[in-house]
């Protein structure tokens, strides 16, 4: 029990001490608030006393002034330039606005004495104020900045003068060749005086100099130089350009006719056959299969041409007008392969009315001579073994009339050769038993497989059996004189003499074999004439052009 009483007492004592501490804190808080409130009351009383004293002094001054002057000092608004009048016990005073001073604000303050404008600006005093103006030639606010003004941007100078901007300024200077102030006048000098422009050129004034305006065909400072117009290739591709003083001329190349500028057509002779088209069969023109209208087995080839061939769309033809290669002009005739008949059925050129051959005794040819010319090129540049004979044909279109010439494409080059009666024509004339015995004679071998070549051959019929002569020339260089091989057998067998009036093309390589690509032929020309009268009796030519 005593322990419980002791613990109760201890607890109660602690509670009483806590209550006393809480009461002491409350009293201190009340004392602080009271002290703050008393200070505020005292401050307000001080302010009220001060205001009352000020009001009393103002009222007292008003009373004294009214008693001494009988009126207010500011009644007549004595302060000028918007100054404010303030009355006092001993009178009034003016509160001046910025820029004014004096008893009544009547005196302007010169701010430029103290103002700090930019070093490239001028201070200008104004009534009650001032301004900073940048010097002439400069622009800016005058206070912080004054930068150079580029007067040249406004083009102040004469049109023939140059403007140069300077720091704060600019200059105008007339250009060379002109005189004046550069602003309002710049008069040009007369440079053309004493100048001669040659070849009808006209002198004109230009800034600081003169200029000769030359007529067509001339150039240079004084039009003294001839222009070589041929350097610009003004002529047709088949024409030659000839430069002339102040001019030029275009002349179609040999074998062509036209104005030389826009037209140069192949013209081998006056009776040239034209009107050909690419892909056309040669027999669709004036040619034929000899005694028959078309070539035998024409449309049975295994390979095509690189263009349409309307006559033989499939199977394909062995020959056609081509634009793949040409000698003169744009087209040629591509003869690949075909029927190898010694008679009709192979391509025969257009026949002439006139014939060539013997004219002595009972012989009745129109002329004793025949000429033929043609160009050819291998279709395969590797030399594929193609062989085509180009021989004189008879008027009936049924046989080879007189000579035998062959073009032969080999890997080592092209051979041009003839077949001649063996052992020779004198022997055959004496013994009359040579018949078809023949030997090849090479006119030339190893010709370039990629270029065009020219063959010329001429028949001269002799008034003696077996002695007709054929003269050959290849590329104007390689020549040979042979005989009329096919006439020998006729003499031996007492067959009729055969006249010449056309050409016959006879393939000698295998037909229907695409490995043989044949030859391109172009610019074929032949005719009949008499040896003693070189004028042509009749001729034919073809370049396979439109």
pLDDT digits (tens, 9 = 90+) for 98-117: 778 888 898 888 888 888 89
CB 197 within 8 A of CB 220: no
Residue that wins the pLDDT comparison between 534 and 124: 124
Tell me the C-alpha distance between 545 and 323, whole Å: 10
Domain at 230-244+248-265: CATH architecture: Ribbon (2.10)
Closest CA to 326 of 524, 509, 84: 524
Helix (H, G, I), strand (E, B) or coil at 472: strand
Tell me the C-alpha distance between 438 and 391, whole Å: 15
Asked whether the predicted pLDDT for residue 533 surpasses 60, the reply is yes
Tell me the C-alpha distance between 210 and 199, whole Å: 17
Helix (H, G, I), strand (E, B) or coil at 10: helix
Rounded to 5°, the CA angle 188-194-196 comes to 110
Pairing outcome for strands 387-393 and 405-410 = antiparallel
Pairing outcome for strands 438-447 and 413-421 = antiparallel
> Dihedral sign, CA of 257, 261, 263, 265?
positive
> What mean pLDDT value characterizes the chain?
87
- Annotate 171-224 with DSSP letters as a single string: EEEEPTTEES-SSS--EEP--STT---STT-EEEEETTEEEEEPPTTEESTTS-
- The rounded Cα 333 to chain-centroid distance in angstroms is 36
Residues 6+ apart with CB under 8 A from 280: 310, 311, 320, 321
Task: Provide the 10 A C-beta neighbour count for residue 209.
Answer: 11
CATH 2.60.120 domain extents, the chain: 268-542
Tell me which residue has tokens 């009796």: 537
Using one digit for the tens of pLDDT, what is the confidence trace for 190-224?
A: 788 889 999 999 999 887 789 999 999 999 999 99
Tell me which residue has tokens 């090849």: 440
- The rounded Cα 432 to chain-centroid distance in angstroms is 74
When pLDDT is averaged across residues 226-247 and rounded to a whole number, the result is: 93
Confidence of residue 69 (pLDDT cuts 50, 70, 90): very low
Tell me the C-alpha distance between 301 and 338, whole Å: 8
CATH 2.10.25.10 domain extents, the chain: 94-149, 151-188, 230-244+248-265
When pLDDT is averaged across residues 518-545 and rounded to a whole number, the result is: 94
Q: How much is the pLDDT for 39?
A: 66
**CATH class label, 151-188:** mainly beta
Using one digit for the tens of pLDDT, what is the confidence trace for 317-370?
A: 999 999 999 998 899 999 999 999 999 999 999 999 999 999 999 999 999 999
Closest CA to 516 of 343, 323, 345, 301: 301
Task: Provide the 10 A C-beta neighbour count for residue 434.
Answer: 22
Strand partners, 192: none
Domain at 94-149: CATH architecture: Ribbon (2.10)
Confidence of residue 53 (pLDDT cuts 50, 70, 90): low
Tell me which residue has tokens 């009329």: 484
Peptide bond into 144 cis (omega under 30): no
Residue that wins the pLDDT comparison between 288 and 147: 288
Pairing outcome for strands 533-542 and 272-273 = parallel
- The rounded Cα 513 to chain-centroid distance in angstroms is 47
Closest CA to 323 of 333, 314, 315, 335: 333
Q: How much is the pLDDT for 51?
A: 52
Residue 12's φ and ψ, nearest 5 degrees, are -65, -35
Q: How much is the pLDDT for 178?
A: 78
Tell me the C-alpha distance between 227 and 163, whole Å: 40
Asked whether the predicted pLDDT for residue 62 surpasses 60, the reply is no
Tell me which residue has tokens 């049109």: 159
Q: Residues, the chain, total?
A: 546
User: In what helix (H) or strand (E) does residue 308 lie, and over which residues does it extend?
Assistant: none
Helix (H, G, I), strand (E, B) or coil at 130: strand
By percentage, how much of the chain surpasses pLDDT 70?
88
Domain 268-542 part of CATH 2.60.120? yes
Task: Provide the 10 A C-beta neighbour count for residue 346.
Answer: 24
Strand partners, 359: none
Residues 6+ apart with CB under 8 A from 274: 265, 543, 545, 546
Burial of residue 476 (CB within 10 Å: 0-12, 13-18, 19+) is exposed
Two structure tokens written together for 350: 């257009």
Two structure tokens written together for 412: 């080592």
Using one digit for the tens of pLDDT, what is the confidence trace for 4-52?
A: 434 443 445 555 555 555 555 554 554 566 676 676 777 777 666 665 5
pTM: 0.61
CB 438 within 8 A of CB 403: no
């Amino acid at each position: 029990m005593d322990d419980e009483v002791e613990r109760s007492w201890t607890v109660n004592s602690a509670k009483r001490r806590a209550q006393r501490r809480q009461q002491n804190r409350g009293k201190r808080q009340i004392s602080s608030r009271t002290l703050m409130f008393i200070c505020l009351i005292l401050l307000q009383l001080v302010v009220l006393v001060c205001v009352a004293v000020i009001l009393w002094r103002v009222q007292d001054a008003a009373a004294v002034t009214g008693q001494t002057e009988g009126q207010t000092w500011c009644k007549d608004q004595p302060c000028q330039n918007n100054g404010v009048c303030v009355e006092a016990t001993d009178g009034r005073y003016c509160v001046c606005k910025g820029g004014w001073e004096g008893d009544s604000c009547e005196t302007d303050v010169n701010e430029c004495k103290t103002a700090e404008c930019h070093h490239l600006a001028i201070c200008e005093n104004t009534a009650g104020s001032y301004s900073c103006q940048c010097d002439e030639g400069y622009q800016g606010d005058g206070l912080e900045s004054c930068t150079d003004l580029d007067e040249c941007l406004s083009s102040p100078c004469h049109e023939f003068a140059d403007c140069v901007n300077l720091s704060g300024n600019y200059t105008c200077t007339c250009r060379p060749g002109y005189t004046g102030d550069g602003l309002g006048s710049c008069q040009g000098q007369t440079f053309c005086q004493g100048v001669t422009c040659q070849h009808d050129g006209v002198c004109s004034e230009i800034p600081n100099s003169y200029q000769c305006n030359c007529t067509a065909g001339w150039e240079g400072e004084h039009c003294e130089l001839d222009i070589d117009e041929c350097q610009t290739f003004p002529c047709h591709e088949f024409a030659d350009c000839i430069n002339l003083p102040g001019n030029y001329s275009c002349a179609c190349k040999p074998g062509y006719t036209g104005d030389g500028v826009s037209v140069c057509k192949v013209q081998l002779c006056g009776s040239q056959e034209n009107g050909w088209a690419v892909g056309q069969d040669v027999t669709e023109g004036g040619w034929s299969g000899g005694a028959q209208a078309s070539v035998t087995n024409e449309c049975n080839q295994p390979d095509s041409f690189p263009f349409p061939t309307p006559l033989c769309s499939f199977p394909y033809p062995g020959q056609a007008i081509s634009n793949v290669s040409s000698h003169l002009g744009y087209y040629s005739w591509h003869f690949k392969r075909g029927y190898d008949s010694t008679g009709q059925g192979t391509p025969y050129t257009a026949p002439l009315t006139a014939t060539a051959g013997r004219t002595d005794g009972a012989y009745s040819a129109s002329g004793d001579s025949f000429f033929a010319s043609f160009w050819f090129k291998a279709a395969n540049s590797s030399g594929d073994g193609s062989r085509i004979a180009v021989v004189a044909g008879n008027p009936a279109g049924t046989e080879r009339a007189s000579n035998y010439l062959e073009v032969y494409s080999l890997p080592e080059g092209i051979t041009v050769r003839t077949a001649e009666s063996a052992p020779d024509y004198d022997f055959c004339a004496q013994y009359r038993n040579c018949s078809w015995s023949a030997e090849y004679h090479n006119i030339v071998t190893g010709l370039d497989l990629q270029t065009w070549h020219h063959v010329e051959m001429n028949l001269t019929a002799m008034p003696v059996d077996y002695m007709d002569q054929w003269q050959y020339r290849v590329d104007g260089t390689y020549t040979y004189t042979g005989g009329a091989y096919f006439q020998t057998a006729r003499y031996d067998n007492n067959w009729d003499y055969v006249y010449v009036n056309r050409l016959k093309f006879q393939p000698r390589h295998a037909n229907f074999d695409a490995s043989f690509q044949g030859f391109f032929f172009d610019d074929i020309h032949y005719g009949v004439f008499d040896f003693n009268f070189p004028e042509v009796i009749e001729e034919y030519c073809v370049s396979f052009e439109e």
